[in-house]
Protein backbone atom coordinates (compact mmCIF):
# COMPACT_ATOMS: atom_id res chain seq x y z
CA UNK A 1 0.00 0.00 0.00
CA UNK A 2 1.22 3.48 -0.85
CA UNK A 3 0.39 6.45 1.39
CA UNK A 4 0.55 9.82 -0.33
CA UNK A 5 1.35 13.04 1.47
CA UNK A 6 2.17 16.62 0.62
CA UNK A 7 3.23 18.36 3.84
CA UNK A 8 2.19 15.82 6.49
CA UNK A 9 5.21 13.54 6.35
CA UNK A 10 5.04 12.60 10.04
CA UNK A 11 1.36 11.70 9.71
CA UNK A 12 2.12 9.59 6.63
CA UNK A 13 4.90 7.80 8.49
CA UNK A 14 2.47 7.03 11.32
CA UNK A 15 -0.03 5.50 8.88
CA UNK A 16 2.70 3.44 7.24
CA UNK A 17 3.87 2.21 10.65
CA UNK A 18 0.33 1.22 11.61
CA UNK A 19 -0.14 -0.76 8.39
CA UNK A 20 3.19 -2.54 8.85
CA UNK A 21 2.39 -3.33 12.50
CA UNK A 22 -0.80 -5.03 11.29
CA UNK A 23 1.23 -7.21 8.93
CA UNK A 24 0.82 -5.20 5.74
CA UNK A 25 3.37 -3.73 3.37
CA UNK A 26 3.39 0.04 3.00
CA UNK A 27 5.50 3.04 2.15
CA UNK A 28 4.96 6.75 1.80
CA UNK A 29 5.22 8.80 -1.39
CA UNK A 30 5.33 12.59 -1.67
CA UNK A 31 3.84 15.01 -4.19
CA UNK A 32 2.32 18.48 -3.99
CA UNK A 33 -1.00 18.27 -5.85
CA UNK A 34 -1.29 22.06 -5.98
CA UNK A 35 1.42 22.02 -8.64
CA UNK A 36 0.40 21.70 -12.28
CA UNK A 37 2.48 18.52 -12.64
CA UNK A 38 1.74 17.21 -9.15
CA UNK A 39 -0.59 14.41 -10.20
CA UNK A 40 1.76 13.38 -13.02
CA UNK A 41 4.70 13.24 -10.62
CA UNK A 42 2.73 11.24 -8.07
CA UNK A 43 1.57 8.76 -10.71
CA UNK A 44 5.15 8.36 -11.95
CA UNK A 45 6.39 7.60 -8.44
CA UNK A 46 3.51 5.18 -7.82
CA UNK A 47 4.22 3.29 -11.04
CA UNK A 48 7.91 3.05 -10.17
CA UNK A 49 6.95 1.24 -6.95
CA UNK A 50 4.02 -0.96 -7.99
CA UNK A 51 5.13 -1.99 -11.46
CA UNK A 52 2.38 -3.01 -13.87
CA UNK A 53 -0.77 -3.47 -11.76
CA UNK A 54 -2.85 -1.19 -9.53
CA UNK A 55 -5.99 -2.71 -8.03
CA UNK A 56 -7.33 0.17 -5.91
CA UNK A 57 -6.97 3.93 -6.16
CA UNK A 58 -8.48 6.05 -3.40
CA UNK A 59 -8.34 9.71 -4.47
CA UNK A 60 -8.93 11.35 -1.11
CA UNK A 61 -6.53 14.28 -1.09
CA UNK A 62 -8.48 17.48 -0.63
CA UNK A 63 -8.51 21.00 0.72
CA UNK A 64 -11.36 23.09 2.06
CA UNK A 65 -11.73 26.80 2.68
CA UNK A 66 -14.75 28.59 4.08
CA UNK A 67 -15.39 32.02 2.59
CA UNK A 68 -18.34 34.02 1.40
CA UNK A 69 -18.78 34.69 -2.31
CA UNK A 70 -17.44 38.21 -1.78
CA UNK A 71 -14.41 37.00 0.18
CA UNK A 72 -13.33 34.22 -2.20
CA UNK A 73 -10.11 35.06 -4.02
CA UNK A 74 -8.93 33.77 -7.37
CA UNK A 75 -5.92 32.18 -5.65
CA UNK A 76 -8.08 30.28 -3.17
CA UNK A 77 -10.52 29.23 -5.91
CA UNK A 78 -7.71 27.93 -8.12
CA UNK A 79 -6.10 26.01 -5.24
CA UNK A 80 -9.39 24.30 -4.41
CA UNK A 81 -9.89 23.19 -8.00
CA UNK A 82 -6.24 22.21 -8.43
CA UNK A 83 -6.25 19.79 -5.52
CA UNK A 84 -9.88 18.64 -5.46
CA UNK A 85 -10.59 18.30 -9.20
CA UNK A 86 -7.54 18.61 -11.43
CA UNK A 87 -5.38 16.30 -9.34
CA UNK A 88 -7.75 13.30 -9.23
CA UNK A 89 -8.58 13.74 -12.92
CA UNK A 90 -4.98 13.52 -14.05
CA UNK A 91 -4.04 10.95 -11.42
CA UNK A 92 -6.66 8.63 -12.92
CA UNK A 93 -5.44 9.48 -16.43
CA UNK A 94 -1.81 8.74 -15.62
CA UNK A 95 -2.54 5.53 -13.70
CA UNK A 96 -4.91 3.99 -16.25
CA UNK A 97 -2.10 2.05 -17.95
CA UNK A 98 -1.59 0.02 -14.75
CA UNK A 99 -5.28 -0.49 -13.97
CA UNK A 100 -7.13 -3.50 -15.32
CA UNK A 101 -10.32 -5.56 -15.11
CA UNK A 102 -11.38 -5.61 -11.47
CA UNK A 103 -9.60 -2.39 -10.52
CA UNK A 104 -11.56 0.10 -8.43
CA UNK A 105 -11.36 3.88 -8.11
CA UNK A 106 -12.95 5.61 -5.11
CA UNK A 107 -13.11 9.39 -4.98
CA UNK A 108 -14.22 11.66 -2.14
CA UNK A 109 -17.21 13.94 -2.66
CA UNK A 110 -19.09 15.82 0.07
CA UNK A 111 -22.47 16.69 1.50
CA UNK A 112 -21.67 20.20 0.23
CA UNK A 113 -22.07 19.00 -3.37
CA UNK A 114 -25.84 18.58 -2.91
CA UNK A 115 -26.74 20.92 -0.03
CA UNK A 116 -25.91 24.47 1.01
CA UNK A 117 -23.90 24.12 4.22
CA UNK A 118 -21.81 27.02 5.46
CA UNK A 119 -19.88 29.49 3.34
CA UNK A 120 -18.44 26.83 1.07
CA UNK A 121 -19.60 27.76 -2.43
CA UNK A 122 -16.20 27.29 -4.13
CA UNK A 123 -15.41 24.10 -2.23
CA UNK A 124 -18.90 22.77 -2.98
CA UNK A 125 -18.34 23.42 -6.67
CA UNK A 126 -15.24 21.22 -6.61
CA UNK A 127 -17.19 18.37 -5.02
CA UNK A 128 -19.98 18.76 -7.57
CA UNK A 129 -17.27 18.36 -10.18
CA UNK A 130 -16.08 15.18 -8.48
CA UNK A 131 -19.60 13.72 -8.71
CA UNK A 132 -19.61 14.55 -12.42
CA UNK A 133 -16.21 12.92 -12.92
CA UNK A 134 -17.47 9.75 -11.25
CA UNK A 135 -20.31 9.51 -13.75
CA UNK A 136 -18.12 10.09 -16.79
CA UNK A 137 -15.19 7.97 -15.63
CA UNK A 138 -17.50 5.06 -14.75
CA UNK A 139 -19.11 5.23 -18.18
CA UNK A 140 -15.81 5.49 -20.04
CA UNK A 141 -13.96 2.79 -18.08
CA UNK A 142 -16.74 0.25 -17.63
CA UNK A 143 -15.76 -1.69 -20.74
CA UNK A 144 -12.34 -2.24 -19.20
CA UNK A 145 -13.91 -3.67 -16.05
CA UNK A 146 -12.80 -0.68 -13.95
CA UNK A 147 -15.33 0.59 -11.42
CA UNK A 148 -15.50 4.25 -10.33
CA UNK A 149 -17.47 5.47 -7.32
CA UNK A 150 -17.36 8.15 -4.65
CA UNK A 151 -18.14 8.54 -0.98
CA UNK A 152 -19.85 11.77 0.11
CA UNK A 153 -19.28 12.37 3.82
CA UNK A 154 -21.12 14.89 5.93
CA UNK A 155 -19.35 16.55 8.84
CA UNK A 156 -16.57 14.34 10.20
CA UNK A 157 -14.67 14.92 13.42
CA UNK A 158 -11.30 15.87 11.92
CA UNK A 159 -9.01 18.90 11.84
CA UNK A 160 -10.92 20.13 8.77
CA UNK A 161 -14.04 20.48 10.95
CA UNK A 162 -12.70 22.69 13.73
CA UNK A 163 -16.01 24.58 13.83
CA UNK A 164 -17.58 21.58 15.56
CA UNK A 165 -15.40 22.28 18.59
CA UNK A 166 -17.59 25.26 19.46
CA UNK A 167 -21.02 24.84 21.04
CA UNK A 168 -22.62 26.79 18.18
CA UNK A 169 -20.89 24.76 15.47
CA UNK A 170 -21.68 21.44 17.10
CA UNK A 171 -25.33 22.38 17.58
CA UNK A 172 -25.63 23.45 13.93
CA UNK A 173 -24.09 20.18 12.76
CA UNK A 174 -26.28 17.96 14.91
CA UNK A 175 -29.33 19.99 13.95
CA UNK A 176 -29.10 18.98 10.30
CA UNK A 177 -28.55 15.27 10.95
CA UNK A 178 -30.98 12.42 11.47
CA UNK A 179 -28.31 10.62 13.53
CA UNK A 180 -27.43 13.11 16.23
CA UNK A 181 -23.67 12.75 16.56
CA UNK A 182 -20.47 13.55 14.73
CA UNK A 183 -19.07 11.02 12.28
CA UNK A 184 -15.70 9.43 12.99
CA UNK A 185 -13.05 9.00 10.26
CA UNK A 186 -13.23 5.20 10.39
CA UNK A 187 -16.94 5.32 9.51
CA UNK A 188 -16.06 7.04 6.25
CA UNK A 189 -13.14 4.67 5.75
CA UNK A 190 -15.42 1.64 6.08
CA UNK A 191 -17.58 2.96 3.22
CA UNK A 192 -14.49 3.49 1.07
CA UNK A 193 -13.33 -0.05 1.80
CA UNK A 194 -16.74 -1.39 0.80
CA UNK A 195 -16.79 0.42 -2.54
CA UNK A 196 -13.22 -0.65 -3.28
CA UNK A 197 -13.93 -4.29 -2.47
CA UNK A 198 -15.48 -7.16 -4.42
CA UNK A 199 -18.56 -6.80 -2.20
CA UNK A 200 -19.37 -3.76 -4.39
CA UNK A 201 -18.44 -5.47 -7.66
CA UNK A 202 -21.78 -4.54 -9.29
CA UNK A 203 -21.67 -0.90 -8.24
CA UNK A 204 -20.19 1.82 -10.45
CA UNK A 205 -20.96 5.44 -11.22
CA UNK A 206 -22.42 6.00 -7.74
CA UNK A 207 -21.82 8.60 -5.06
CA UNK A 208 -22.61 6.98 -1.72
CA UNK A 209 -23.86 9.39 0.93
CA UNK A 210 -22.26 8.67 4.31
CA UNK A 211 -23.54 11.63 6.28
CA UNK A 212 -25.75 10.42 9.11
CA UNK A 213 -28.87 11.46 7.26
CA UNK A 214 -27.84 15.09 6.84
CA UNK A 215 -30.20 17.54 5.17
CA UNK A 216 -32.90 14.95 4.51
User: Catalytic amino acids?
Assistant: 123
Instruction: Count CB neighbours of 212 within 10 A.
Output: 22
Rounded to whole angstroms, the Cα distance separating 32 from 45 reads 12
130 by DSSP, 3-state: which? helix
Task: Check residue 34 and report its DSSP letter.
Answer: T
Produce one character per residue of 158-186: b if its CB has 16 or more CB atoms within 10 Å, e if not: eeebeebeeeeebeebbebbeeeebbeee
Amino acid sequence: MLVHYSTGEKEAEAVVAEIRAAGGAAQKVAADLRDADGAHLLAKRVREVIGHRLDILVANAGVSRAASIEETTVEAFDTLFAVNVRAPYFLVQQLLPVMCKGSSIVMISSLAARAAVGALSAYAATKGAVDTLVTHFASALGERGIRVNAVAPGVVETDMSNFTKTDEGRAATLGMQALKRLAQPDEIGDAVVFLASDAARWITGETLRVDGGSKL
